[in-house]
Amino acid sequence: MMDTLKYNATTLEKFTADKKMLYFPGVTIVYNFTDPELIKAITEIVRAYKKSRFAAKLVFLPEDSFHMTIASIIAYKKKYQDRSLSDFPALDKDLEETDSFIVNALRDEEELDVEMVIERFTESKIIIKPRTPRDERVLKDYRKRIYRKLGIGYDDDYLFHISVSYTLIDFDEADEREMQALNARLLPIYAPMIGTIHIDAAQLSFFNDMSEFRHHTQGRDRLGVCGF
């Protein structure tokens, strides 16, 4: 099967070919969703995807891990390939030392208050955008400040999103057609149903794999499926 299907190299850094989580530690700033109505709506979207012909080509994330990434900081296994980290002062430090450096730099940067709305769906993400120009400006200023404090390159083209799955095997034309038809049906239902997504905090978080993004104050012990 590995010889006849095109597996996604980026996804295989985080999951095995049979969809098991891999150890892929890092640090990020997220907003973990707790609103039960929002989680219910996202779960319904995911379950619609799971009924599709292309579902087997996706790795679905746990339903209790839905979040919005506000600012990606570091994935330790990729840190030397990430050009944005070329001037990061803690690049050559070990995981524990780098965690501490980031926490010390950003411990006072957890205040954020913006609103987001759904823009579109892709095969593995719900793309969201700031609701107003004010929200867009606040998010941009926050991200610039975070990256400046850490000495990390700023990406102005970042697409805010809610990850619901990862593409394990690249789609063929039939998959693409079904996905587009499904998205065209789901978007006008769920975009107004979800409405405004209120982001009222920026949570500096650790992860060991893609199953859990935990606030840094709780450490890495037994974090995620691959926690120790």
Q: Could you give the CA distance from residue 115 to residue 113 in angstroms, rounded to a whole number?
A: 7
**Is residue 2 one of the residues assigned to a domain?**
no
**Is residue 221 one of the residues assigned to a domain?**
no
Can you give the pLDDT at residue 1?
A: 44
pTM of the predicted structure, to 2 decimals: 0.94
| Residue 199 burial class via C-beta count within 10 angstroms: exposed 0-12, middle 13-18, buried 19 and up | buried
Q: Write the DSSP symbol of residue 158.
A: P
**Is residue 40 one of the residues assigned to a domain?**
yes
Can you give the pLDDT at residue 228?
A: 64
**Is residue 42 one of the residues assigned to a domain?**
yes
**Is residue 171 one of the residues assigned to a domain?**
yes
Can you give the pLDDT at residue 3?
A: 47
Range of the structural domain that residue 73 is part of: 11-15+23-215
Residue 120 sits in a domain whose CATH number is 3.90.1140.10
Q: Could you give the CA distance from residue 78 to residue 23 in angstroms, rounded to a whole number?
A: 12
**Is residue 6 one of the residues assigned to a domain?**
no
**Tens place of pLDDT for every residue, the chain, 228 residues?**
444 789 999 999 999 999 999 999 999 999 999 999 999 999 999 999 999 999 999 999 998 899 999 999 999 999 999 999 999 999 999 999 999 999 999 999 999 999 999 999 998 899 999 999 999 999 999 999 999 999 999 988 899 999 999 999 999 999 999 999 999 999 999 999 999 999 999 999 999 999 999 999 999 999 999 876
**Is residue 5 one of the residues assigned to a domain?**
no
Structural domain total, the chain:
1
Can you give the pLDDT at residue 165?
A: 96
CA 97 to chain centroid: 24
Could you tell me if 153 and 86 are in contact, meaning their C-beta atoms sit under 8 angstroms apart?
Answer: yes
Q: CA-CA distances (angstroms) from residue 56 to 99, 129, 171, 178, 180?
A: 35, 29, 10, 14, 17
Three-class SS of residue 68?
Answer: strand
**Is residue 220 one of the residues assigned to a domain?**
no
For β-strands 67-75 and 26-32, DSSP reports them as antiparallel
